[in-house]
Structure 1
Amino acid sequence: MLGRFFKSSAHPEPPQSESDTLTEPWRKIPWGRKERDLQVVRDYEPHNEELEQLRILLHGPTGSGKSSFINSVDTLLQGRMTCQALEDAVSQETFTKEYRTFKIQKDGPETMYPFVFTDIMGLEKETNQGVGVQDLKLAMKGHIKDGYNSAETVAKMREVRLAARDLGIPQLAVLTKIDEACPAVKEDIRNVYMSKYLKSQMELFSESLGIPVKCIFPVKNYHSEIDPDDDTDTLILSALKHMINLGEDFVNRR
């Protein structure tokens, strides 16, 4: 199965006040229960015996943090900082140059989790740069091999979303760099669902692409940290669990 998931970045103007927060969170998140949710992922096995692994395809604007998200999931599951997918902190152009699949080690070098991530070139504004929409459509059908070389504009992402819909492939959006987007979240990541600004941006993203807000997950990728953080992991876990659940629903209804 080729799972199809959106990834985008939050780069609007930040709020003027760090106190621009709600009195109550608008979405509940299990802070402090990381180990319980982590065990759910560790215990996961596909219900469909013919399925070896779920395949999760990440795509989105250049610089939105697709490779960083893969490394952040790997860090979460390994319990230490990892850098399996190459990242670039300087270039404004797409750093990923080919279609590549990443497996995550589980109990030992020969044991892997039953889900993989596929990283691909970022979408860019110019139609002749970055990954092409047609390439993404082929990827969703499983017609691109590892090593294949090939917008920030909402139109490109919307076109891919509609193609995924036509194939019956579930879609989920991950909004990254939430600490850069909102000062209150930078101060304390637990303010993520208290932030009026992030809530409004998630609603705007939903309206632009047609993805329900319940399928949009804000996360902070690991960037400057040298050790994992439970709260950062909790948000990544929330997105990862829903990816697995959507993938399971897809393969079991075919």
Structure 2
Amino acid sequence: MEQSKEQRERETHTHLKFTLTFNKGSNMGSTPSKPEFVTVLAKQQVPHGQHFILSCEANTEYVTVSWQKDGQKLDCVEGKHKVRQLGTKCVLEISKAEDADEGNYTITLSNSSGSASCSALVRIIIKEWRTVQWGQNRINSLKTFQICNKVEELRFLLYGPVGVGKSSIINTIRTIFEGRQFVNCLAAPGSTTSHTLCYEQFRFANEEGSFPFAFNDIMGAEEDSGVLTQDIVSALKGHMKEGYTFNPQTPLPINNHYYNQNPTLSDQMHCLVLVMPADRVSMLADNFIKKMKSVREEASRMGIPQVVFMTRVDCACQLTKEDLRNVYKSKKIRENMQKYANELGVPVNRIFPVLNYHEETQMQYEPYLNRIFPVCNYHEETHINEDINYLMLDAFTHVVYWANDYVVKFVSNQFHAE
């Protein structure tokens, strides 16, 4: 029997309704997509006290979200943390960033089909507490600097542990003044034995002429060996002549031909530069610190200014390693400067974090060919790096002025005494 038009329309509507209902039920009961990240968390550098947001996006909103910090479940504090999920977007908001908020944050998305995680490092940076004239080359002012006419040059004595970069400081400053990589002063960064065995003096010169600055390099200090404190004092007072070979067992005797019986102001040191590692503050033994302090105290009795060049800042702080211009925004660098101030008795404003140019060449032995191959390992920078220059010149400029002030004061005191 032929169906009427009204019956056919009613049956068609019923069939469509059943089909739509079935499909919807099928979607609701299906297995969810395995979580994947469309966008991941991004690492951040957050100024202290500011609000920051970590966010990412998933491929599905049907996930359970959990957050961790440094491998531990994140303890959310009301008013401090705010966790949100906006569709497929997952957000963690943290207000008033403080030191404790620094760390590695991980988000994990999970459902019955699996899980996925991603992480990002958040560093809390503090307000820059000391300014450097980045981008302004101060070398011209040093080249034209007029020292006191009672001496031919200002003399600086470098003193510090073995392998912290004393010789590399000389190489770095000569590189800046001469405009090319300079590695003539043998450097042993990271070494446990001193490469400086003789008392040497290094001066600076380029095609324009020489500069009135001289660095005296000595054998590195060690806890129970290395250069003797008596030899450091002899060098400070100008008694030690260039070329003397250090003896870790016996100080320079007064009857030795390398002993200057009557040193003048020009023979003396005009500034003591203590070279200390930024990454090994807590590793220095008490006996070694006592050695450093005794030398500094002798310099103080003579009126000689003392400063600290804190090397290896890139090894001490990842923030600084990534960008040297963050050196005075780093909490770690500031903390280590304060530690040295407390240990050595040198004011913080006379402690300068620096980065050296240096390279090590080690000899590798290939037994099959029975040959030795020199292989260069570049530990910091081997090309001209302007930021290294700016930071070192900022420190060196202060040192030059203080050394010259000492000479002027010494001459003035002599004049009034006469």
> Which TM class, normalised by the smaller chain length?
0.7 to 0.9
What does the per-residue CA deviation read over 1:132-179, in whole Å, with 9 as the maximum and x for residues that have no partner?
A: 111000100000011112286211100000000011101111000000
Shift of 1:181: 0.7
Q: How does 1:44-63 map to 2 (within 5 A)?
A: 44-46=145-147, 48-63=148-163
Residues 19/218 of structure 1: CA separation in 2 closer, same or farther (3 Å cut): farther
Partner of 1:186: 321
Work out the CA distance in 2 between the residues paired with 1:131 and 1:157.
Answer: 11
What does the per-residue CA deviation read over 1:39-67, in whole Å, with 9 as the maximum and x for residues that have no partner?
A: 11111121x22210000000001111000
RMSD over equivalenced CA pairs, Å: 1.7
Q: How does 1:27-46 map to 2 (within 5 A)?
A: 27-34=130-137, 37-46=138-147
Structure number with greater Rg is 2
Q: How does 1:59-74 map to 2 (within 5 A)?
A: 59-74=159-174
TM-score, normalising length: structure 2: 0.54
Higher relative strand content: 2
Q: Percent identity?
A: 37
Contact between 1:20 and 1:195, CA under 8 Å: does it hold in 2? no
Residues 23/51 of structure 1: CA separation in 2 closer, same or farther (3 Å cut): same
Shift of 1:90: 7.0
Q: How many residues align?
A: 233
Structure 2 residue ranges without an equivalent (≥5): 1-101, 105-120, 247-283, 359-377, 411-418
Shift of 1:33: 1.0
SS in 2 for 1:32: coil
Work out the CA distance in 2 between the residues paired with 1:163 and 1:16.
Answer: 44
Structure 1 residue ranges without an equivalent (≥5): 1-14
Partner of 1:12: none
Residues 44/234 of structure 1: CA separation in 2 closer, same or farther (3 Å cut): same
Partner of 1:137: 233
Higher relative helix content: 1
Work out the CA distance in 2 between the residues paired with 1:89 and 1:51.
Answer: 33
SS in 1 for 2:215: strand
TM-score, normalising length: structure 1: 0.87
Partner of 1:176: 311
Work out the CA distance in 1 between the residues paired with 2:157 and 2:103.
Answer: 35
What does the per-residue CA deviation read over 1:74-98, in whole Å, with 9 as the maximum and x for residues that have no partner?
A: 0111111011211135742111101
Work out the CA distance in 2 between the residues paired with 1:159 and 1:16.
Answer: 40
Shift of 1:19: 4.5
Structure 1 counterpart of 2:218, one-letter code: I
What does the per-residue CA deviation read over 1:111-146, in whole Å, with 9 as the maximum and x for residues that have no partner?
A: 3210100000011011xx211111000100000011
Q: How does 1:88-127 map to 2 (within 5 A)?
A: 88=188, 91-108=191-208, 111-126=209-224
Contact between 2:168 and 2:189, CA under 8 Å: does it hold in 1? no
